[in-house]
Structure 1
Amino acid sequence: MELLCKWNQLSLVKRILIGLILGAVLGFLLPGASFLSLLGTLFVGALKALAPLLVFFLVLHSLAQHKKGAKSNMSTVIALYLIGTLLAALCAVVASFLFPSTLALAQEAASSAPGGIGEILQTLLNNAVSNPISAMAEANYIGVLLWAVVFGIALRDASDRTKQVLGDLSDALSTAIRWVISCAPFGILGLVFTTVSETGFSSFMDYGRLLCVLAGCMFFVALIVNPILVFLCIRRNPYPLVFRCLKESGIMAFFTRSSAANIPVNLRLCKELGLDEEKYSVSIPLGATINMAGAAITISVLTLAAANTLGISVDFPTAFLLSVVASIAACGSSGVAGGSLLLIPMACSLFGIPNDIAMQVVGIGFIIGVVQDSCETALNSSSDVLFTAAAEFRSRRLAARQD
């Protein structure tokens, strides 16, 4: 009992680090103890199961409560999401020119991917108008968001009693999510155990240069580009906010490798930051769908690595076009592990790279995905909170100036 009390007194981040260390040690010493993998599977499964319901009812309740004529900062949030994604793609292009990488294209192609921007947009539109029940069951966040917005606006004239019921449902789901998050150290233990026991560290050595370029771009965006954008909004030192978002959101997202599964974590962090629930309950789920700076980096770096391997000369205008295409494609990537990789063939088509070779690049992406996708998701998810907070602090600053 005393040990349990001491455990509960530790911060969640410290408990997660303990789970990380234990998972790595057990994965190295006892790779056959596969039952430990169940801890990670159950943890991520529980988050993914509750997240669509939580998103639906939070957005629904927020919009139903929204007063007509009340100010909103969503335009600023969306602008930050899109600008951040484009700048990330540009950083990836510059880094790929400075530190060119090559790939060992020898794997079999065995999957399918979108053929172009038109197909991606068509898929997004089809997902948006899918059945709302199936959208929640399948974690289709585009559909969940659309129907939550539709029903939320339709319920603006509902009675206060109805709105109270919606609020109670949102609170109940939030409480359930907090219970799941309290189990994060054990879930992280299982996830890290699975990674170490199944892949070890050999795959990282084969593509060390490529991983350094990918991770370096993501760290540069997280620690340089994003803080500049935040400073332009809040006009004060952005790093305390940046580091808190990376610590409390990025670390969790690094291990779950799913922006969608990390939505409850981000909602909790927004509440701790004192942000307006009516605003962040919409912007956080939206960010998990379209704020994909990490995905834009992955698409750009791997595509240019493929072009470099094949000896294809890439000029700056074409590279800039790749940045734009990668940004648009990234906004259409799913918020699940590896969601950005199947968009690489579409970007490769800009350089005339055949689909079978492009799919080999996708295969390499899955090999290094343990690190690549973890860093990508940490950047994506932490910046959801970062930009949401920056937009609200900006609106407060402007309001205070007017007063």
Structure 2
Amino acid sequence: MEKQKKKLGLVPKLIIGIILGILIGMYLPEWFGRLVVTASSLFSMFLKFIIPMMILAFVTMGIADLTQGAGKLLGLTAIIAYTSTLIAGSVSFFVADNLFGSFMTQNALEKIAATTGISVEPYINLSVTPILDTLAAVLLAFVLGLCMSTMRGKELGGTLYNFMKDFSAIINKVLHTIIVPFLPLYICGTFVDMTRSGKTFAILGILWKVFLVVIIMHLIYLVFAFFVAGGIGKKNPIALLKNQIPGYMAAVGTQSSAAAIPVNLQCAKADGISEEIRNFVVPLCANIHMAGSMITITACATAVCMMNNIEISIATVVPFIATLGVAMVASPGAPGGSIMTALPFLYMVGLGSEELQAIMIALYITQDSFGTACNVSGDNAIGVIVDTIYKKWIKE
């Protein structure tokens, strides 16, 4: 029996894309750089076309599947998960806003500012209008999802549900076969442009520090979450954290909330969460609880804004976090799904340009496995809380 070839993961591919982009920008002639930038630009056009359909497909099915007959238990879990996501994002902004400024020397900021407006032009500029505006896609997804969840089997059949399920599968296929494989090319083209314009090394000198801070914030959040859960559930938080290690490592290795569910269920069992609660909360929160992703996206957005002298404040960040907390429902099911869902809303914090969004993608995905691990591990902290409340006030 032949051994299966080990595939190169997305993060190594992105790192290779960044390195190739820098080398091409530094050493190869301009015509070749323009060729790479053209390919990257065409991919960007396709990405913008797909994103509203991805939001429509994932959010619709996420709501339709997760609101079937759950009643009070669903409401309780959803409120706790959403609150956790909002708190994580808000704290991430306060940390980033107060800490990241020390990473950014005046010299580095001046180098970045001096390159504003300088870019490598693609050979071809094409524009395709998406079939839906992103906000329209979110609104339509909520209307369809909520109506299907309450009417299916009562006032209407499963035809529309089955259509949306197939549509979601098609979009997921597009993500796996086109979007994810070509992301390194997109990033490569961005770094060709950045290198030729002179801003690459000033930016990279800042981003590695941002990476370390984000990982530390993930770990602090988990310690806080399990201490709160332990206090409510009258369990030892250190034991809960120890029980979660296999689930955390499974999420880091697989980079997928869905793939980590079986291991996370075992962690929940070790925490003493009742079977009926863990079988409900763990799969549900794998789709709706994104504290780790929110920490990463908020911190990265704050850093990129600071690097480009874009004003960012709590007044702009809170609506951004509140919107993403809803829009990213079910997006963790796809690699890099959270940042892809966030792209259309980055304009809310001033990051509307393709170049800045490409930096966001690169920075986010290099930390995606840790964000996913934070999401997954936080699910069991919620499980302990829900189990305690359910036994005391709902079940009785």
Q: TM-score, normalised by structure 2?
A: 0.59
Q: Pairwise CA RMSD of aligned residues?
A: 5.2
* Equivalent in the alignment of 1:172: 166
C-alpha distance in structure 2 between counterparts of 1:200 and 1:108, whole Å: 13
- Distance 1:339-1:271 versus aligned 2 partners, 3 A rule: farther
- Distance 1:178-1:59 versus aligned 2 partners, 3 A rule: same
Gaps spanning 5+ residues in structure 2: where? 118-128, 231-236, 266-277, 328-340
C-alpha distance in structure 1 between counterparts of 2:148 and 2:280, whole Å: 15
**C-alpha deviations, 1:71-101, integer Å up to 9, x for none?**
5411110111111112112211331465564
- Distance 1:145-1:276 versus aligned 2 partners, 3 A rule: farther
- Pair 1:57 & 2:65 matched: no
Gaps spanning 5+ residues in structure 1: where? 110-133, 250-264, 311-320, 345-361
- Distance 1:387-1:397 versus aligned 2 partners, 3 A rule: same
**C-alpha deviations, 1:138-163, integer Å up to 9, x for none?**
3335414531454145416616x825
C-alpha distance in structure 1 between counterparts of 2:102 and 2:188, whole Å: 35
- Distance 1:183-1:45 versus aligned 2 partners, 3 A rule: farther
- Distance 1:169-1:395 versus aligned 2 partners, 3 A rule: farther
* Equivalent in the alignment of 1:374: 362
Return the letter of the residue paired with 1:137.
Answer: L
Contact 2:290 2:375 in 1 (8 A): yes
Contact 1:101 1:209 in 2 (8 A): no
- Distance 1:61-1:96 versus aligned 2 partners, 3 A rule: closer
* Equivalent in the alignment of 1:84: 88
* Equivalent in the alignment of 2:343: 337
% of aligned pairs identical? Answer: 10
- Distance 1:291-1:155 versus aligned 2 partners, 3 A rule: farther
* Equivalent in the alignment of 1:198: 193
* Equivalent in the alignment of 1:129: none
Return the letter of the residue paired with 2:177.
Answer: C
Return the letter of the residue paired with 2:299.
Answer: I
**C-alpha deviations, 1:208-266, integer Å up to 9, x for none?**
554345334323223333453255437412454444445544xxxxxxxxxxxxxxx65
C-alpha distance in structure 2 between counterparts of 1:279 and 1:6, whole Å: 31
**C-alpha deviations, 1:337-396, integer Å up to 9, x for none?**
38436525xxxxxxxxxxxxxxxxx69x97665444533465696355554454245434
* Equivalent in the alignment of 1:284: 287
- Pair 1:16 & 2:37 matched: no
Instruction: Report deviation, 1:66.
Output: 1.9
Greater mean deviation of Cα atoms: 76-85 or 334-343:
334-343
- Distance 1:19-1:46 versus aligned 2 partners, 3 A rule: farther
Contact 1:20 1:188 in 2 (8 A): yes
Instruction: Report deviation, 1:193.
Output: 3.3
1:211 to 207, 214, 222: 207
Aligned residues: 326
- Pair 1:297 & 2:299 matched: yes
C-alpha distance in structure 1 between counterparts of 2:55 and 2:150, whole Å: 23
- Distance 1:176-1:390 versus aligned 2 partners, 3 A rule: farther
Q: TM-score, normalised by structure 1?
A: 0.58
